[in-house]
Structure 1
Amino acid sequence: MKNQQILVESKTARQQMIQKISVLDMLGKPVPVLTKDGRSTIKQIAEFYEVHLDAIVSILRRNKDEFSVDGITVISAKEYKKLDIIDCQVDSLKLPRNSITLLPKQAILRIGMLLTESKLATKLRDTLVKGEQEMTYKQKTRAIREAEKWEAQREAGKMVRKSFADTIELYIPESPNKKWKYKQFTDLIYKNLFGQVAKELRLSRGASDNDSLRDGFSVDELNAVGRAETFVSGLIMSGDSYDTIKTKIKFVNFWAKPAKTA
């Protein structure tokens, strides 16, 4: 990476850097946080980067899809009262009238890679690039391969998912409840793999209803979901009922990699 401008221009370059959250601690200025789990408000981050509030809001809106995997949450005034707020912040913050947006460190780092009118954001990008230039050839190659591996698996997973949805449409008998079958089988798969249905998984991972939940899955998680959907598709085509599939799926380890054939 020759200069820090590529971080502003390239989503792929930003994604390669998104795990380097520790860089936020190298800027000579502490990141202001609201909650004890390290989340901040948009106002706090605007003050941190020394830009107008609208600059942060604009970046979040323009790059909504990119920020969807960062764990940003929007909470109501009622939920705000239940937050575990850092003691020193309690007296200085007013109760929001409607809602408040909370940004985890990953989102704060991504904002810094996109902001062009902030000296601190420029420093952040320079620090990231300097660290990247100091990486060994082996480390760079590994990082690129991991990013490419995730992208390839995500695209493969989309094809499996479409086939899964088509199987449900073609093989499940027509009924008033058929429109819910895809959600029902997806929840069954998620419950088997993660111990949570889709709604619970969104809450635990900080994903909103508009986010693509699978964009936040690891390569191994995407692989496991794909194997489970393929398995369930086969059972549906064989005429198995939901209850039968629910029983059979318990005995399969979708996390295990298939054995290589000679």
Structure 2
Amino acid sequence: MQELVFIESEDLNCEPFTTDEVIAEFSGNSRDSVTRLIRNYQDDLKEFGKLGFEIRPMPSGQKAKVFHLNQQQATLLITYLDNTEPVRLFKKELVKQFFAMEFELNARRLERSNGKIKRIKLTDAIKQAGFSVHFYKHFTDLVYKKALGFNAKQLREARGAKPKATPLDFLTTKEQAAVNQIEELTTGLILLGRSYDDIKLILNVGVVIYQTTLKIPEKAH
């Protein structure tokens, strides 16, 4: 079945949602009837979080309001629909897709948590080795570049993140794992007393191993 559940960005802290358009299309109801239900029961829906929306341009030149509903809101709303066969099939698929999306986000959060531990070890090693404060950024960009092919600024641009956002919050599980591996290797090399230039040269030898397994974001090219 077509994708029913979405996230607004690659930010691992974002909340999955579906829309009134999706609910109308796959439950066999008109969009007017679904949006009417949303307006009639908006107080109920708001008990489960802010009722989000986006303003989307239409081919006619007019603009339409598209509601975003989180899992609890969507689950509640579809209980107000008649329990026809299309509605039952839609309900089952919607639950599956919300679960799959949450599973992926939780896997990313776990990998990110592991990454924070490795990041602390890296910064401690940089400090212990006596590098100047400027090398924190140098080593950060080196790790990102060797793991993913982009430095921190390019990663933010590729994922639509704010200028001061942490790029690691926008990585897939596979990408985060690659960063973790490179950080761990870099930490070990620093603790062995290798210079920045030596570490950069050593990482250049193994960079292809990581990059060829990753989906590189096109916007950064």
Matched residue, 2:123: 165
User: CA distance change for structure 1 residues 143 and 202 in 2, over 3 Å: closer, same or farther?
Assistant: closer
User: CA distance change for structure 1 residues 29 and 151 in 2, over 3 Å: closer, same or farther?
Assistant: same
- Equivalent pair of 1:224/1:254 in contact (CA under 8 Å): yes
TM-score, length basis structure 2: 0.56
Matched residue, 1:69: none
Matched residue, 1:208: 162
User: What do residues 96-121 of structure 1 show as CA deviations (whole Å, max 9, x unaligned)?
Assistant: xxxxxxxxxxxx87x5339x8xxx9x
- Equivalent pair of 1:23/1:124 in contact (CA under 8 Å): no
- Equivalent pair of 2:189/2:199 in contact (CA under 8 Å): yes
Residue 139 of structure 2: which of 170, 185, 198 is its match? 185
- In the alignment, does 2:67 pair up with 1:113? no
User: CA distance change for structure 1 residues 189 and 125 in 2, over 3 Å: closer, same or farther?
Assistant: farther
User: What do residues 171-224 of structure 1 show as CA deviations (whole Å, max 9, x unaligned)?
Assistant: 134xxxx11211111111111222221111111110002423211111111111
| Distance (whole Å) between structure 1 residues aligned to residue 114 and residue 90 of structure 2 | 29
User: What do residues 147-174 of structure 1 show as CA deviations (whole Å, max 9, x unaligned)?
Assistant: 443232121111111111111111134x
| Distance (whole Å) between structure 2 residues aligned to residue 200 and residue 125 of structure 1 | 44
Deviation, 1:251, is 1.6
* Seq. identity, %: 25
| Distance (whole Å) between structure 1 residues aligned to residue 69 and residue 176 of structure 2 | 29
| Distance (whole Å) between structure 2 residues aligned to residue 154 and residue 166 of structure 1 | 18
User: CA distance change for structure 1 residues 234 and 22 in 2, over 3 Å: closer, same or farther?
Assistant: same
| Distance (whole Å) between structure 1 residues aligned to residue 166 and residue 181 of structure 2 | 19
Q: How does 1:35-184 map to 2 (within 5 A)?
A: 111-113=68-70, 123=77, 133-135=91-93, 145-173=103-131, 178-184=132-138
- Give secondary structure in 1 for the equivalent of 2:150: coil
Matched residue, 2:188: 234
**What do you get for the CA RMSD once the two structures are aligned?**
4.8
| Distance (whole Å) between structure 2 residues aligned to residue 125 and residue 235 of structure 1 | 58
